[in-house]
Structure 1
Amino acid sequence: MSQEQEQEQPNESKGELPSFPAGINPRRFGRSPGLKFFVIGFLALLLLIPLMFVSSLRSERSATANQAAREIGEAWGREQIVGGPALLVPYLVPPKIANAAPTREVAVFLPDDLQASSEAQTEIRRRSIFDVPVYRSKVVLNARFLPPDFKAITSEAVQPLWNEAALAIGIADVRGLKNRATAQIRDGAAIEFEPTLGAGIRDGNGIHAALRDLDLTKPLSVEVALDLNGSRSLSIVPLAKNSAIRMSSNWQHPSFSGAHLPDDRVIDANGFSASWRVSHLARNLPLAFNHDNRRADATFLNGGVGARFYQPVDLYQLVDRAIKYAVLFVGAVFLAVFGLELVARGNLHAVQYTLVGFALVLFYVLLLSLAEHLGFLTAYLTAAAATTALIALYIGLVLRSFARGAVLGLILATGYGLVYALLKSEDFALLAGAVGAFVALATLMLATARVNWSGLGDSVSKSVASAPARPSTSA
């Protein structure tokens, strides 16, 4: 074997790697833009792990805020639902067996007409660093009852116990009642309410007024005024054949909820007002029925209409929505850094990309912690400005060009501005996010259309052109 042939064979005994094809530099291949692109993508996916911990921290803080709201509600008054008034009349059913005792039942008669109004004055109560909206409300119920007709309940001849009849009102949290409550009978005296629903009903939250000396065989008109404290929401149940409900408050951000939306509503800087008209045909409840202790709450407290005193800046919800855009944002920033690296012909290490990623993740921790004290907008601006300044300065030092660092800072500021716009635009967030992602991808594709991702092209052609011709082995 000739000396030239011996030199062409790799010296494996000395631990040397097999030679790459002519013109391919293994070191240059390891630093190819294409390989680095996938490494950067993998690092962006790895950052999902700390982002999951940030999301868990947000959930914990949100749970703490809800606990503070519940504690204030326990002391002040929880979410209030007012249902009624309803007329409860016990009656005896004759026994079908001789010498047996008659059966006692309780008939419930709902009003033929109900005019209800409420006016709620809200205020903010604080527990630790959390704010909870509470209200003082004046609820007025005007109801008109027709004479009870037991034939609508049973075909049997029954014995009404008129002296045990009661007027009942269901209230979700009776601890919110302030002062005494009375039922003003038209052309009669005021009757004071007592705890529980009355007429022998054991279950259900509410109050009742005994109607011992009234002639219930004639139409009955009553007016009830309640001073009621509560928090978060207020609802009134339209129990009558025809119910007209009006509600007003100084709260400027109501969220109307319940079985029916208001027919008319006005929301301005002074608060809101709304009105509902509901027929009994829209409710799955007859106007007269036998009461069952097991469904007391279902009878008086279900199907209410009203408003939730919504806090327009729910910082925990906004932080959660910001975290959902985190992966796309981190990926976009990594691509921007990668583009600057290509332009500067630098060589950033994976550790440096990881440090940039950690700074982007820390933005969400800063946002969450500052928002609890400063409000979401101020916290967002502060956290975004600090993160932008840190990353821009760091990349400027690494690439030895503060101009490129300033360019990255401008990109970051624009990105944070777009994300904030997405957070505040609930109706068009998906559309704006999709269009923004498409524009970013199109920009990246067009800007890198002539990039040599393999990092081999020119060097291969030059090496092949300059390589000496191999001697012919033909005879």
Structure 2
Amino acid sequence: METTQKSQPTNRFTNWLKTSITSRLVMIGFLTLVLLVPLTFIQNLISERSYRQDEVVNEINQQWGNEVFIYGPILKVPYKTYSEKIVTDKKTKQVFTETNVVINYAYFFPESLNITSNINPETKQRGIYKTAVYNSEIKLNGKFTKPDFSDIEVAESDIIWEKSKIIIQTSNVKGVNKSNLTLNNNTYELSSKYLNQTNLAYNQVAMHTLETKSLTKHPINFNAPTSYAINFNIKGSKQIRFIPTGRQTEARITSNWKTANFIGEFLPYNGDKTSDSGFDAKWKILDLNRPFSQQHFNSLPNLTAFAFGVNFMIPVDEYQKSERSAKYGFLVIGLTFLFFFLIQTLSKINIHPFQYLMIGLALTMFYTLLISISEHSSFLKAYLIAGTSVITLITLYSKTILKTLKFPLFIGISLTTLYAFIFVIIQLENYALLVGSIGLFLILTTVMFISRKIDWNNG
């Protein structure tokens, strides 16, 4: 009698677990939360692989040469300023005025700046990661006019013209293979002087200064226009940018690279800039188009925000797309479990929690297949292979659980539709929220329509 009394509550609890709708929902909710653990690990794996890619690309770029960013040419002119100081002689107690001479510098941008650059990119690869590097031939020419010191009222005799220099700032001196500068047909050498910038903002780059020696050897008549020509041969990576320092800046950049992206504050004006053979981009920028003047006193301003140029980086968004798809993992697992719950409830077919767990693990395997295959192929091919594999596996597995053919077919079609829906959302940018909201609304409507036949009182 005691054995019978003890077994009756146990049998009731077991029957409740098998037949109760509430118990099934609790079990499905618990398993869904458990499967968030492997989903989190997968998202961390994607982030780790993406970080590794950036690390390898940066290593290649540093060895070859970082981005080319040119700021100049700039005429640097020293001038004298005077400060008076009242000094008292300690012995005689006599008070007198002491005049100190301070050397300051003025920076003048050219009247015209013409930029011509031909870029020859190539692909460098290490393991499964690759990046774009390039050789560039850059020519800068134009003219300087006589510097105007009227804004600070400096006497002509206090301007040290013979100590003037031409300076150019660039982010990449490592990649410079050749450089020369001529002023009025006189050749000058450029020497490197590192400008230490320790507190750089996120989007700023450390700039090196290239400068000539003082123009004493070949004095320049600043009362007449001074023509200049600068030739560079620089190895670089990622992108190439210029700052429009000329009162009128004209630039032309050509290359056989077909996936270039034009960046910066100013875009090319020619509509036929891209073709099947590469690009031929042209810019024309006037001083009225930029919010800075032609002369600066005491210090050279940071004008990084007003640069323009071309980005040569290879568009690699497989990791970003994989990360976005993994964020929908909770939705995929929840909806798939919901499909099986509706089938189980409507057909009275018993599905064990272990079988739910196997289905959930198969769904998480989709993301590991996706990230591993996409590293060696395109995202579309990886998505098709991973999706087809997982859908086929779950459909065949559900055939052994549900016994009939119509329910596994429903599962297969539902998963195919769900994965196709998520793929469309990933590809969209501007309409992703709209399409996603409409899709979820339709899914909710379908579930509400199907679940109307369930007797929820059998809880």
Specify the TM-score bucket, using the shorter chain as the normaliser: 0.7 to 0.9
Partner of 1:441: 444
Partner of 1:462: none
Amino acid at match of 1:253: T
Partner of 2:188: 191
Q: More deviation in 242-251 or 60-69?
A: 242-251
Partner of 1:66: 54
Structure-2 change in CA distance of 1:75 and 1:226 (3 Å)? same
Partner of 1:177: 176
8 Å contact from structure 1 (residues 242, 279) kept in 2: yes
Partner of 1:49: 37
- Matches of 2:315 and 2:62 in 1, distance apart? 23
Partner of 1:235: 241
8 Å contact from structure 2 (residues 395, 409) kept in 1: yes
Partner of 2:202: none
- Matches of 2:430 and 2:254 in 1, distance apart? 27
- Matches of 2:65 and 2:121 in 1, distance apart? 13
Provide, for residues 376-397 of structure 1, a one-character-per-residue CA deviation record: whole Å limited to 9, x for no partner: 2222222112211211111111
- Map residues 7-22 of structure 1 onto 2, 5 A cutoff: 14=5
- Map residues 128-139 of structure 1 onto 2, 5 A cutoff: 128-139=127-138
Provide, for residues 441-467 of structure 1, a one-character-per-residue CA deviation record: whole Å limited to 9, x for no partner: 1111112212213337xxxxxxxxxxx
Does residue 338 of the first structure (1) align with residue 341 of the second (2)? yes
Partner of 2:150: 151
Structure 1 counterpart SS, 2:174:
helix
Partner of 2:286: 279
- Matches of 2:294 and 2:308 in 1, distance apart? 19
- Matches of 2:189 and 2:303 in 1, distance apart? 20
8 Å contact from structure 1 (residues 197, 208) kept in 2: no
Provide, for residues 187-212 of structure 1, a one-character-per-residue CA deviation record: whole Å limited to 9, x for no partner: x23333222389xxxx9503223433
In the TM superposition, residue 272 of structure 1 has moved relative to its aligned partner by 3.2
Partner of 2:89: none
Amino acid at match of 2:181: A
Structure-2 change in CA distance of 1:276 and 1:44 (3 Å)? farther
- Map residues 86-165 of structure 1 onto 2, 5 A cutoff: 86-96=74-84, 100-156=99-155, 159-165=158-164
8 Å contact from structure 1 (residues 94, 158) kept in 2: no
8 Å contact from structure 1 (residues 32, 453) kept in 2: no
- Matches of 2:14 and 2:400 in 1, distance apart? 29
Partner of 2:376: 373
Amino acid at match of 1:183: L
Does residue 37 of the first structure (1) align with residue 28 of the second (2)? no
In the TM superposition, residue 287 of structure 1 has moved relative to its aligned partner by 1.5
Structure 2 counterpart SS, 1:320:
helix
Structure-2 change in CA distance of 1:313 and 1:284 (3 Å)? same
8 Å contact from structure 1 (residues 171, 301) kept in 2: no
Partner of 1:289: 296
Q: More deviation in 410-419 or 361-370?
A: 410-419
- Matches of 2:373 and 2:432 in 1, distance apart? 24
Q: More deviation in 225-234 or 153-162?
A: 153-162
Structure-2 change in CA distance of 1:422 and 1:276 (3 Å)? same
8 Å contact from structure 1 (residues 144, 219) kept in 2: yes
- Matches of 2:258 and 2:251 in 1, distance apart? 19
Structure-2 change in CA distance of 1:46 and 1:29 (3 Å)? closer
Structure-2 change in CA distance of 1:89 and 1:238 (3 Å)? same
- Map residues 419-458 of structure 1 onto 2, 5 A cutoff: 419-455=422-458
- Matches of 2:5 and 2:388 in 1, distance apart? 56
Among candidates 199, 209, 223, match of residue 217 of structure 1: 223
Provide, for residues 269-289 of structure 1, a one-character-per-residue CA deviation record: whole Å limited to 9, x for no partner: 333343333333444433112
8 Å contact from structure 1 (residues 185, 221) kept in 2: yes
Amino acid at match of 1:146: T
- Matches of 2:50 and 2:235 in 1, distance apart? 24
Q: Return the TM-score normalized by structure 2.
A: 0.85
Partner of 1:473: none
In the TM superposition, residue 218 of structure 1 has moved relative to its aligned partner by 1.7
Amino acid at match of 2:150: K
Partner of 2:201: none
- Matches of 2:13 and 2:39 in 1, distance apart? 38
Does residue 255 of the first structure (1) align with residue 252 of the second (2)? no
Structure 1 counterpart SS, 2:391:
helix
Does residue 323 of the first structure (1) align with residue 301 of the second (2)? no
Q: How many matched pairs?
A: 434
Aligned alpha-carbon RMSD (Å): 3.1
Amino acid at match of 1:121: N
Amino acid at match of 1:413: T
8 Å contact from structure 1 (residues 139, 226) kept in 2: yes
Amino acid at match of 2:210: I
8 Å contact from structure 2 (residues 67, 172) kept in 1: yes
Q: Return the TM-score normalized by structure 1.
A: 0.82
8 Å contact from structure 2 (residues 17, 24) kept in 1: no
Partner of 1:81: 69
- Matches of 1:34 and 1:273 in 2, distance apart? 67
Q: Which runs of 5+ in 1 are unaligned?
A: 1-10, 19-23, 457-475
Partner of 1:4: none
- Matches of 2:387 and 2:20 in 1, distance apart? 32
- Matches of 1:26 and 1:192 in 2, distance apart? 90
8 Å contact from structure 2 (residues 66, 238) kept in 1: yes
- Matches of 1:399 and 1:433 in 2, distance apart? 31
In the TM superposition, residue 101 of structure 1 has moved relative to its aligned partner by 4.8
Ranges of 4+ aligned residues in structure 1 off by more than 6 Å: none
Partner of 2:251: 245
- Matches of 2:194 and 2:283 in 1, distance apart? 26
